[in-house]
Structure 1
Amino acid sequence: MTQSPVGGASGVSRRPIQIGDRAARVLASELARHGGPKTGLLVGAAAGSATLAAAIDALLPDDRLTVVAGSGAGFGAAAALQEHVERQGRWVTDRTRVVETLAEAEPADVVILAEPLSGGADEARAALADLTKLVNAGGVLTVVVPATRLPSGAADEVERQAALYGVGSDLVLRNVPPVRVHRLRHTPAHHAAAHNLLPALRPSSVPLTRGMNIDSNGVAAAGIALGLAALAKAARPKSKLWLVPALAAAPVAAFFRDPQRDVPEDASAVVAASDGKVLGVERMHDKRFGDMEFLRIAVFLSVLDVHVNRAPVAGKVVDYFVEDGGYAAAMKPEAEHNVAAYTLLETAHGPVAVVQRTGLIARRIVQRAPVGSLLAKGERFGLIRFGSRTDVYLPADKATAAVAPGDRVVGGATVIATWL
């Protein structure tokens, strides 16, 4: 009989929690963004499952994928998996290997647990320990837990490990029931690995059309506005007051628009971290980053600009901190002392910093790239709500500016500097 992939006390849920297409794509996102050649290990998949389909879709010609049958799949699960893989054709069969137990699997760059973890903390800890042994140095382990407020030892254990080793976490509401996907990296990755990555799939960005998304913050804000409109209408049916929040819902959602961008493939290109107008291009020192001289390019974002922030270069997040301050208008010199979030990247050209500064209206900075995570060039990593400013710091002796004050730039697409 097929053994449990992670042992008899794995803590892997045996309840019928369905992993839908959206959650499956998120689970396989680390595999899909890796440019290869790479190895993947999918644990707990079933024949015909959305997770298996997403993992197969992520394969490139030089990739290899090992699949272990699910713990609750029963007798003949491995045979059913093998038959399903063979039906996909020779191309998939040549790159996919099916095994009955985890003991038969070899370490991989990306390990995905397709079954949600539940049960006690000790069981989950044992399951994660077994899986971690099969992750190559610098690789990623992706796990999923039910997104419920009910007490769960497994979810608590995963959250604890995510606090220590997490390099990304996504809530997938479009699943029944909703789930949370965590990506863990127990051994450090080299910053050079970021150059081989594509921008990660972000469930926080809700697709509207083929080229336009709305950040989840916008969906929530629009929902609140419509909720207030409904309450106002119910409380005072004859009043037109409900029109105020109702009419505000669309422009509020539009503020959080998140268009798809074509990132330049030129390895020497540094792209804008945000949309907006270039405020300044200057060489300077900043005590926060030591004695180095930096080339700083500051961009002002009006309330009409896209406010999603993107990584200007590929690199590894090695530090993140927030400095307190005021809320002066972002286009004024006083904004130097505003509340700001500093994300420091380690790159092949030296340290690069992206600074998200608040403005007169902006009071909320969102940063979604934990320390230790790898960012591809042009990858979304956060946003600032309403008017604000984004600064990019580059080593002054390694880069030359490609823009000047007054220029308009497009985040993730406009080349603002080039590496020498």
Structure 2
Amino acid sequence: MTQSPAVPTPAPQGPVRLGERAARTLTAELARHHGSKTALLVGAQADTAVLDAAISALLPGDLLTVVPAEPGDTTRLRAHIAAYGPWVADRIQIVNDITDAQPAEIVLAALPLTGTVDETRATLAQLDAQLVKGGVLAVSVPAMPGKTEGADTELDRQAALFGVGTDLVVLNQPPLRIHRLRYTPADVSTAARLAPVYRPSSVPITRTMHIDSNGVAAAGIALGLAALAKLTRPKSRLWLVPALAAAPVAAFFRDPERDLPDDESAVVAAADGRVLSVERLTDERFGDGEFLRIAVFLSVLDVHVNRSPVAGKVVDYFVADGGFAAAMRPAAEHNVAAYTVLETERGTVVVAQRTGLIARRIVQRAPVGSLLARGERIGLIRFGSRTDVYLPAEAADPLVGPGDRVIGGASVIARWS
């Protein structure tokens, strides 16, 4: 039997499978779209986590087209899908070859890409041909050296040009890197129909509380230093210092789930903290007209994960040089800051992540071209800091004032007029 030309071939070392966590990450773009949508799953196999994750993401009105990894897999696929019942079976069609499928809004490669650079480029071109304008292609690649023949290099290049999101799934054998690619611009109105995307960068602790991967890494470093101190100086209690610091360091990077307000006209806080100021100003970097700026100070005890205050499309991102004044002081306005510029249906919205006296590291995870749902995580700032939200002054009415406490992704700081 011959394999479909668009289906990636496993590397000589053996097949690479996607576990449940990796499958959920690969199909995240499918799961976050509200309303009817079309999707294409290429290289599907029965009884796999990827197929089950894609089926679980279906909503009424959706249509999922499935291309089997091998022509002989069709019978098993039909039986597997039929077991879900008629509600699912009516929303899925199986075709023998990718050329028989209609273009879709979301295309998923069920098998990781492991071939050469040229093979990977050809595969991506075939998958891209099945995307409608503004559609998203989700593919995976092993994240360990020696597991591909060049696919990882080519995907890194493609992600730099067309990437709208990349996630590393460590809990897979082997670890995988999931890339989401968009080759043509998306309509900004699509963002309003999205839910915050699932990201494996947060490690679940409980059902409602996660720890960002930065926290896991920081806690691991602290425990490593404790082990090294214990090994080199076994009679000393110096090892207790980094060992006891591991828990509070991890807690600093906590990433709780948040319930978004139902009001679609509500603008939510980009961060937890205390409102420092609410003012109107102009800033030629973001365009003509006045902006309403709401500045929030984050103490070291606040959650430091930042979220998008509105639904929109990332059209620019830049970092402005500056100092490291205490974040609660007016001079912090001139600190080092990262600006994420969003195009929305109401105008330009900007989120500024500002460093503070202690904070010296800004993490931004929303590439230019990506669509953000309201309340979606866009990054974090390490230790005390400040986050500013700029809104079109004539289109938004503030609902908070200096001294108010706000919760990122949950508190309403303004409302569209």
TM-score range, shorter chain: over 0.9
> Does structure 1 residue 145 correspond to structure 2 residue 141?
yes
Letter in 2 for 1:41: L
Q: Which residue of 1 aligns with 2:390?
A: 393
1:393-412 alignment, distance < 5 Å: 393-412=390-409
Q: Across the two proteins, how many residue pairs are aligned to each other?
A: 415
Residues 90-239 of structure 1: matches in 2 within 5 Å? 90-150=86-146, 152-239=149-236
CA distance in 2, matches of 1:376, 1:341: 20
Residue 57 of structure 2 is aligned to residue 58 of structure 1: yes
Contact 1:362 1:386 in 2 (8 A): yes
Q: Which moved more, 1:179-188 or 1:148-157?
A: 148-157
8 Å contact kept, 2:225–2:242: yes
Q: Is the 8 A contact 1:5 1:44 kept in 2?
A: no
**Is the contact made by 2:252 and 2:301 (CA closer than 8 Å) also made in structure 1?**
yes
| Deviation at residue 114 of structure 1 after TM alignment | 1.0
Q: Does residue 240 in structure 1 map to residue 241 in structure 2?
A: no
- Cα deviation for residue 118 of structure 1 reads 1.3
Unaligned runs of 5+ in 1: none
What TM-score comes out, normalization by structure 2 length?
0.98
Q: 1:296: which partner in 2?
A: 293
Aligned residue number for residue 78 of structure 1 = 74
How many angstroms does 1:36 deviate by?
2.2
The partner residue of 2:269 within 257, 268, 272 is 272
Q: Secondary structure at the match of 1:131?
A: helix
In the other structure, the counterpart of 2:48 is 49
Does the 8 Å contact 1:2/1:77 carry over to 2?
A: no
Would you say the 8 A contact 1:214–1:256 is kept in 2? yes
CA–CA distance in structure 2, aligned partners of residues 154 and 16 of structure 1: 15
Q: Percent identity, please.
A: 67
CA RMSD in angstroms comes to 1.2
CA 1:362/1:244 → structure 2, altered by over 3 Å: closer, same or farther?
Answer: same
Tell me, yes or no, if the aligned pair for 2:396 and 2:416 is still in contact at 8 Å: yes
1:373-384 equivalences in 2 (<5 Å): 373-384=370-381
**1: CA distance, partners of 2:226 / 2:322:** 35
Q: Is 2:296 the counterpart of 1:324? A: no
Query: Quick one: distance in 1 between partners of 2:106 and 2:17?
Result: 22
Bigger mean CA deviation after superposition, 193-202 or 290-299: 290-299
Q: Given residue 66 of structure 2, which amino acid in structure 1 is its aligned partner? A: V
Amino acid paired to 2:50: T
Contact 1:13 1:116 in 2 (8 A): no
Shift of 1:149: 3.0
Give the Å deviation of 1:105.
1.0
Query: Residue type of the partner of 1:234?
Result: L
Aligned residues of 1:218 and 1:253 also touching (Cα < 8 A) = yes
| Residue 6 (structure 2) aligns with | 6
3-state SS of 2:285 partner: helix
**Residues 2 and 152 (structure 1 numbering): CA distance in 2 closer, same or farther, change over 3 Å?**
closer
1:18 match: 17
Query: Contact conserved, 2:11 with 2:149, CA < 8 A, in 1?
Result: no
Q: Separation in 1 of the partners of 2:136 and 2:6?
A: 17
Deviations 1:64-98 (A, max 9, x none): 1011111xx4x521111111111111111000111
Match of 2:165, SS? strand
* Counterparts of 1:170 and 1:3, CA distance in 2: 28
Structure 1 residue 291 displacement after superposition: 2.6
What is aligned with 2:84? 88
| 1:309 counterpart SS class | strand
Contact 1:12 1:117 in 2 (8 A): yes
Offset of 1:287 from its aligned partner? 2.5
The equivalent residue for 2:280 is 283
Q: Look up the match of 2:310.
A: 313
Q: Matches of 1:94 and 1:114 in 2, distance apart?
A: 21
| Secondary structure, counterpart of 2:197 in structure 1 | coil
Distance 1:36 1:173 in 2: 31
Cα contact 2:10–2:16 (8 A) shared by 1: no
Tell me the secondary structure at the aligned position of residue 288 of structure 2. Answer: coil
2:178 and 2:110 map into 1 onto residues whose CA distance is: 10
Gaps of 5+ in 2: none
Q: Which amino acid aligns with 2:32?
A: R
**SS across alignment from 2:174:** coil
**Per-residue deviation at 1:228?**
0.4
Letter in 2 for 1:120: T
Q: Is the 8 A contact 1:297 1:393 kept in 2?
A: yes
Q: For the Cα contact (< 8 Å) 1:11–1:124, is it kept in 2?
A: no
For residues 261-302 of structure 1, what are the alpha-carbon distances to aligned partners after superposition, in whole Å with 9 as ceiling and x for unaligned?
001121110000000000000001112213320000000000
User: Within 1, Cα distance between the matches of 2:78 and 2:388?
Assistant: 52
Larger deviation: 35-44 or 20-29? 35-44
